[in-house]
Each structure stands twice: as structure tokens, then as C-alpha cells.
A and B are shown apart, each in its own frame.
Chain A
Amino acid sequence: MINVENLRKSFGKLDVLKGISTEIRHQEVVVVIGPSGSGKSTFLRCLNGLEEATSGKIEIDGVELTNPKTNIHELRQHVGMCFQQFNLFRHLNILQNITIGPMKVLNKSKEESEQLARQLLKRVGLGDKEQNYPDELSGGQQQRVAIARALAMKPKVMLFDEPTSALDPEMVGEVLNVIGDLAEDGMTMVIVTHEMGFARKVGDRVIFMDEGYLIEEGPPAEIFNNPQEKRTQSFLAKVL
């Protein structure tokens, strides 16, 4: 589904990703963990071209993202993303937040888009909020709307960048439940998170990153119970 080969990314002189290679299979849930500043967000943002790779190759469903000839906007329709700060469109109500993609990007009719949006809102447990504005919702509710907004594009992959770290503790569960449901429905996902319990539960594979390198990857049970690399061991000792 996603193929990453020797991905490098620098901001000026700062090398943030120093050659990442991995593969994400269809319907796989990959969890990315690692210390702050290790390049997790940058890695994720390269996967939908929000950051342009400095070198290396990224292929998504057979389309080479890193090829300058690729239509990046078209490709992003198939790669959904949820942000730490939700980033709902502040001037649009909840329903419009979800319909704007199908209507303006996919040129679907208003009726069809609204029908889909209501379906998705129900799925994330917010059927009664469609006329509200983002700033009238709690963080957990906003993040669930953001997930619905991404799903409205019918993506093949979903990327999550610390979807719960801006939330009050009592709201973390409701968002993780929605993501967990997606995993069960067979959505391919890459999730950056600090929620180790969640990583263990929904992850098919865990990637540990440090200082721009992919240090270690494997099934959650192996990484969490029996990490092979020193850096993984010391990181896990701190967070578990």
C-alpha cells in the first residue's frame, strides 16, 4: 500500500529524517512511537506531501508521491490526515466541514455529500451536532469531526499525528474508540501516538524512531516486551 525507500528530509542544515525505509501493507495499522523531536510528525507529513521529501522514494498505492509529475492534490484525496490540533474549518459548521471536501474537491452534489456527512457523524457519535461550529465543541468532539471530515473523502489510508495529545484525559477514550473501530473495519492507518496501551491494542506493527532513524519495528508484543535495540529499551523504560 505504502512503500517508503530511503526517505530523507532536511530543513536547511537540520537533517530530520536520515533514511527511512519501510512498507505499510493494505489494512495494516502501523503505530509510530519515539521521543519528541525524533521526526515522527515529519515522517507522517511526508506521506501526504505536506512536507516535500529531500530525497528518497514514497509510493502510495502504486503512485509515486515523490515524482514531481505526480498530481499531489489528487493523491491527497486518497490519504486522509488528522492533526493534533484538529484544524477544523472555523468558519464552517460541522456539517459543512465534512461536506466541503466531497463537494468542492470531488464535485459531488450537496444532497449526496450531506447524506454521507450525516452517516459519518452518526458513526463518530455526533449526529446531533451538525449545525454547531467547531469552537462550540469539546476537543474530543472536534477530533471526531476531523476524522469524519477525512473519511468523507473515502481515503485508502488514514494518517494520525498524535490525535489525542491535545485532549483532556477524559476525552482521549472517545477518540481512540473511533480509531479502534476504523482499525476493525480494515482501514489502513499510520498513527503517531504516545498512548502506549492503545498502540499495543490496535497496532499490527510498531515503528520506533529516534533522531531521524527508524531504529526498530515489529509486532507490538515484540517491541514492547522484548525490544532488541538499546535506544528502544531506554525509551520504553521511560514511557511505560
Chain B
Amino acid sequence: MQAVLDNLPQLLEGLKFTLYYSIAAIILAVIFGLIAALMKLSKSKILKGLATVYIEVFRSTPLLVQLFFIVFGLTGVLPLNEWFGQRAYPIIAATITLALHEGAYISEIIRAGILGVDRGQKEAAASIGMTEYKTMRYIVLPQAFKRMIPPLVNQSAQTIKDTSLLAPIGIIDLVYRGQIIISATFEPFSIWLVIAIIYFTIIFAISQFAGYLERRMQLDKR
């Protein structure tokens, strides 16, 4: 127990990085997801095809393999470490890979949200002369985003869990910090327990919040 108390600041420092990576990845993932969703809904076969390949590849391979491939695999054929810097490249690449991974799921959330908007809304927008772009921007997306919020909050919880896979590629987060502390204190039980409790508290709170939003949205059908 003493080991936990002694190292709590260190663990919380790790948690801080976990949350930084999560937030960066979620923001990027929403952008990637939105682009992929719009591509998949577009009329162009090429854009549709590209988006489908992206979504399927990232959903049908394990995140850990994606991380190893992009962080270590690509540097075997491209001088990425030189371009971005020895220290920066793994962090940038890992964050982007995580965002691409989550973005593949988020694109399906966004797509379902867009498709869930009543066709009559689009026709009404067209009838007052809105272009497809303006219809999407002012009518469809605001309505779609509202109903996408609960699943997006859930996906954020998933993203925080997924950041634990950054530790195996040598990026400092909560898990990585924990491993270092364990190697110094030989207290795997209490340290892993505390790590699990920290994850649980955050993720449980977020998914409760998502559930609350969902219930509220059902009451308020707007």
C-alpha cells in the first residue's frame, strides 16, 4: 500500500498523459470520422471506395498491430524519424493512428446520424434554394450531431481504454508509468489494482453520462 501512496503523483502524471492523448485522438477522430462519413455518403464511387477501404482496414485489424505497423513498420521504409524527430515521431504517429482507429468507428456513428435525419428536412432546405453543402452544414449536421452525442461520448470512453495500448510502443501514459513503478517496487498487485480503479472511475463516469444524455434525448425529441 505504501508503494501506491509513494508513487501516486507519478501515476497521476501518467494519467495526465493518458488524458492528453485521449483528447487529441478524439478530436482528430471526429474530424477523420466526419470526412470518411461524408466521403461514404457522397455520389463519387472513388471517394466511397476510399472511405470504405479505410474504415474496413482499421476496424478489421487490431489496434496494437496498427500502432506497431505505423510507428515501427513505416520507419523501416521511410526516414520518418528524421523528418519528424526521433522523439516526436512515435508520439505523433501513435496519436494519429489511434485517431484513425477511433475515426473508423466514429465515421459509422456519424453516418448513421446523418442518415437518421428525415428526408423531408433536406427537401425543405433544397426548396428554399440551399445547396447540398449548405443543407448539410445548417440543417442535416446540426440535427445529426445532436443524436450522435451519446454514442460519441461512449466512443470517447473506448478511446481512453485504447490509449493503454500506447504503453507497449514506449509512450508514457498511465500503464507505462505503472510498469516502471512496478519494476522498482515489485508490487504488481496493488499498482495494477490502482491503475484499474483509476480507469474504471473515469470510464464508468463517462458511460453513465452517455446514458444520461441518451435518456434525456429520448424525452426531448427535438
Contacts and interface: CB of A to CB of B under 8 A. Distances in A.
Contact of A76 (B120, B129, B139, B143): B129
Nearest to B143: A91
A73 B131 contact: yes
Contact of A83 (B123, B129, B142): B123
Interface in B124-163: 124-131, 134, 138-139, 142-143, 146
A85 B122 CA distance: 13
Contacts of B138: 100, 104
Contacts of B130: 73, 101, 104-105
Contacts of A85: 120
Given A50-B123, A105-B130, A149-B124, 9 more contacts: A73-B130, A81-B124, A83-B127, A89-B121, A90-B121, A91-B143, A91-B222, A104-B134, A152-B128
A126 to B, nearest CB: 18
Interface string A75-102: 1110111010101111100000000110
A89 B121 CA distance: 6
> Interface range on chain A: under 10, 10 to 19, 20 to 34, or 35 or more?
20 to 34
Contact of A77 (B120, B125, B128, B146): B128
B100 to A, nearest CB: 30
A153 interface: yes
Interface string A119-150: 00000000000000101000000000010011
A145 to B, nearest CB: 11
Given A87-B123, A90-B143, A105 B222 contact: no
Contacts of B146: 91
A232 interface: no
A105 B129 CA distance: 7
A48 B127 CA distance: 7
Contact of A90 (B126, B129, B222): B222
Given A90-B121, A90-B143, A105-B134, A77 B222 contact: no
A146 B118 CA distance: 16
B142 A77 contact: no
Given A89-B121, A89-B139, A91-B143, A76 B128 contact: yes
A135 B221 contact: yes
A105 B128 contact: yes
A149 B139 CA distance: 14
Interface in B21-41: none
A32 to B, nearest CB: 17
Contacts of B123: 50, 83, 87
Contacts of B120: 83, 85, 87
A81 B122 CA distance: 13
16 contacts: A50-B127, A73-B129, A73-B131, A74-B129, A83-B123, A83-B127, A85-B120, A87-B120, A87-B123, A101-B128, A104-B134, A105-B134, A135-B222, A146-B124, A150-B128, A152-B128
Contacts of B127: 48, 50, 76, 79-81, 83, 150
Nearest to A45: B123
A96 to B, nearest CB: 10
Interface string B204-222: 0000000000000000011
B126 A76 contact: yes
B129 A153 contact: yes
B121 A77 contact: no
Contacts of B121: 87, 89-90
B139 A133 contact: no
A150 B131 CA distance: 16
A161 to B, nearest CB: 10
A104 B146 CA distance: 21
B113 to A, nearest CB: 13
Nearest to A153: B128
A204 B143 CA distance: 40
